[in-house]
Amino acid sequence: MAKLDKLLQDWIAQGFINSEQAGKIHQYESAKPKTSWFLYGTLTLGVSVLGMGIISLIAANWHQIGDYAKLFAAFSILSVVAIFAFQANKASKRVIYDVLVLALQALSLATIGLISQIYHTDGEPYQALLFWTLITLPLVITTEFTFAPFIWAGSFIGASLWGLLESKILRVPEIDHAELLLVITPLFTAVLAIIARLLRGSTGIMKAMHIWVMIGALIGLSVVEFWSAGHPRLNFGQLGTSIISVLSLMIVAPVAASKLYSNLQKVLLTSLVIVYIIAVNMAATRLSGDLLGACFTLIELGLLGAFYASQKARGRFNIVLMLMGLRFFVLFLQALRGLAMTGFGLILSGIILIALASVWNKRRHQIAAWMERITQ
Amino acid sequence: MNRSPKFIIAALAFPILALLGLAINKATIREIGRIVTFKITGYDPRDLLSGHYLIYQIDYGIPGLCTNPDVQGQTIYICPQEQRVYGDKPASCSYFIKGTCQNQRFEAGVERYYIPQEYAVRLDRLVQNKQGSVTLSVASNGEAQVNRLLIEGLPWAEFIQKNQEPPAP
């Protein structure tokens, strides 16, 4: 409220509003239900620890207790938590509702474990995780905060990629399976984020997807750089190339057709995909070296930063800028082999970046208009 | 985002009903299936979600089962009584088990048995010594489910109780 008071005082001083209006605005804002990040964070941590405890307890296998008694206890707890969550939603207690949803997610996973234990099911962990993500998706859609969707999205991405690795489709001996999965991780997370955006996912899901896209991008770029630095040649085969192409198309085509993205954003996203495919192919065919690999990373981060800037996503933009700065530093250490030369190189790069930022600041409207024109 | 009371009720009820359906499906196969017993051999890994378990190979008494490279990855039906393998559900067999050939092994989703941590080492040793067998519940469509782990013909808990090991010196 201190920030609002300061703003109100400023607006009164500027003559935009009078004291009576300021009082009404203050009264209206004070009456809004407050969301405590401290309460949400602490409760989330508590529920997560509790969930892990329940899973460990189930894993201990209490064979003296009858199977039906264990199942009855599990379903009773699930039902009670669901009823409490419904009541919390009815009373508009968003923090409590989201925390109870998280508890329900943890208990659902624990119950899958319990059913596996009682009936000795012989499935892989990724199958259990995929089943869990499927049955908890409607729950996640109803949440407002980021943690439950973040865990859900991470589990879905991990389980899907693991499932793909285990699937018959990829059981071709001449393909580097793990490497292929790492390469497609950023494309896969981007496809999911785009689907969530097109389906107008909740704030929590969108924020969670943004975090996973960034994690996916870092994994993909790191792997491509690692190979560019001369590690054993990659082999994706025809099948790997097809998977990369399909995923790329699944990013570019819906974005191009959607009105949710501006022309500038469409150009930036398409460029991101194209540069990534070029970087992957050059690393795979060993045409790229460590410096070229670093250049690809910087171009990709630059495009990603520009995309976030176009979305006015300040937090994500700043993270990308920080990563670019870090990569620049490492690049000069790699290229110039010495602190003195690195220092000169960084000073030069800093001057270039400041000049670019100044030009952008002065001419951004003309540049944006030009981009809109050429993409129409 | 849709937050109507009906949607919230559906979202909260869906995982519970799905899990209930899963449990009922498993319980039905266990309760109504035909009970058969096979010898096993195996080893003991650990599942973070559900605890310790034994993984074993079941001896169905069919020589050369799944050794043919042509059947790898394919769904087959075995008839232990006739010691024969079928590509489709066999009409002549009184009971049959559905599974796939993976890495030259027949897998029917019954190759795992969860055990308490404190007995894991001992049970593993007993199974390695070929003293173990499992009873399966086999449904009429060939789907099978593990029912009990037996050691020398006794339920494992009973065997452990009757054969207490002296405490380590």
Give the domain ranges of chain B.
Answer: 1-32, 33-162
Is the Cβ pair A121, B10 closer than 8 Å?
no
Which of A60, A111, A141 faces B117 most closely, judged by CB atoms? A60
Find, in chain A, the residue whose alpha carbon is nearest to that of B113: A120
A166 and A284 housed in the same domain? no
Residue type, A51: G
A48 and A82 housed in the same domain? yes
Q: How far apart are CA B123 and CA B151, in angstroms?
A: 8
Which of A62, A109, A138 faces B14 most closely, judged by CB atoms? A138
Which of A111, A121, A141 faces B109 most closely, judged by CB atoms? A121
Find, in chain B, the residue whose alpha carbon is nearest to that of A53: B49
A217 and A324 housed in the same domain? yes
Chain A residues touching B50 at Cβ < 8 A: 58-59, 61, 113-114, 116-117
Structure tokens at A167: 């699937």
Residue B52 φ then ψ, to 5°: -75, 145
For A304, the 3-state DSSP assignment is: helix
Mind listing the pLDDT tens digit for each residue in B18-60? 999 999 999 998 888 899 999 887 655 655 556 688 888 898 9
Average pLDDT along chain A, 376 residues, taken 10 residues at a time: 82 88 86 70 82 80 84 94 94 88 93 91 88 94 86 92 77 67 89 87 83 90 78 69 88 88 89 90 70 84 89 85 82 69 74 77 69 58
Is A106 a member of any domain? yes
A46 and A145 housed in the same domain? yes
Taking the CA of residue B47 and the nearest CA in chain A, the distance in Å comes to: 8
A52 and A152 housed in the same domain? yes
Structure tokens at A161: 């990629």
Is the Cβ pair B114, A116 closer than 8 Å?
yes
Is A16 a member of any domain? no
Is the Cβ pair B15, A136 closer than 8 Å?
yes
Is A246 a member of any domain? yes
Is A95 a member of any domain? yes
Mind listing the pLDDT tens digit for each residue in B8-28? 999 999 999 999 999 999 999
Q: Which residue pairs from A247-253 have beta carbons closer than 8 angstroms and sit at least 24 positions apart in sequence?
A: A247/A184, A247/A187, A247/A188, A247/A191, A248/A187, A248/A273, A248/A277, A250/A191, A250/A194, A251/A187, A251/A190, A251/A191, A251/A194
Q: What range defines the domain where residue A234 resides?
A: 175-335
Instruction: Give me the residues of A, 258-317, that contact B with CB < 8 A.
Output: none
pLDDT value of residue B1: 47
Is A364 a member of any domain? no
Number of domains making up chain A? 2
Looking up tokens 């010898």, which residue turns up? Answer: B39
A194 and A280 housed in the same domain? yes
A71 and A155 housed in the same domain? yes
A200 and A108 housed in the same domain? no
- Cβ of residue A89 closer than 8 Å to a chain B Cβ: yes
pLDDT value of residue B11: 94
Is the Cβ pair A59, B49 closer than 8 Å?
yes
- Least-confidence region, from B67-81, B92-106, B155-169: B155-169
Taking the CA of residue B116 and the nearest CA in chain A, the distance in Å comes to: 5
Angle between helices A263-284 and A290-310 (to 10 degrees): 160
pLDDT value of residue B17: 97
A165 and A201 housed in the same domain? no
> Which residue in B8, B44, B146 has the most chain A C-beta atoms within 10 A of its own C-beta, making it the best mutation to test that interface?
B8
Is the Cβ pair B114, A125 closer than 8 Å?
no
Q: How far apart are CA A117 and CA A120, in angstroms?
A: 5
CB B134 within 8 A of CB B110: yes
Burial of A349 (0-12, 13-18, 19+ CB in 10 A): middle
A304 and A216 housed in the same domain? yes
- Cβ of residue A123 closer than 8 Å to a chain B Cβ: yes
Which of B8, B107, B145 faces A89 most closely, judged by CB atoms? B8
Is A109 a member of any domain? yes
For A15, the 3-state DSSP assignment is: coil
- Cβ of residue A87 closer than 8 Å to a chain B Cβ: no
CB A219 within 8 A of CB A288: no
A230 and A152 housed in the same domain? no
Give kind and range of the element (H or E) at residue A119.
Answer: helix A94-119
Complex-level ipTM: 0.84
Please say whether the dihedral angle defined by the alpha carbons of residues B75, B78, B83 and B86, taken in this order, is positive or negative. negative
A164 and A180 housed in the same domain? no
Q: How far apart are CA B86 and CA A227, in angstroms?
A: 48
Q: How far apart are CA A318 and CA A301, in angstroms?
A: 11
- Cβ of residue A3 closer than 8 Å to a chain B Cβ: no
Write out the DSSP string of A250-292: HHHHHHHH-SSS-HHHHHHHHHHHHHHHHHHHHHHTT---HHH
Which of B10, B111, B145 faces A119 most closely, judged by CB atoms? B145
Distances (CA, A) of A251 to A194, A238, A256, A305: 7, 20, 9, 18
Is A363 a member of any domain? no
Is A18 a member of any domain? no
Taking the CA of residue A315 and the nearest CA in chain B, the distance in Å comes to: 24
For B42, the 3-state DSSP assignment is: strand
Chain A residues touching B110 at Cβ < 8 A: 120, 122
Mind listing the pLDDT tens digit for each residue in B124-138? 888 888 889 999 999
Residue type, A170: L
DSSP state of B136: E
pLDDT value of residue B133: 93
Q: How far apart are CA A26 and CA A291, in angstroms?
A: 56
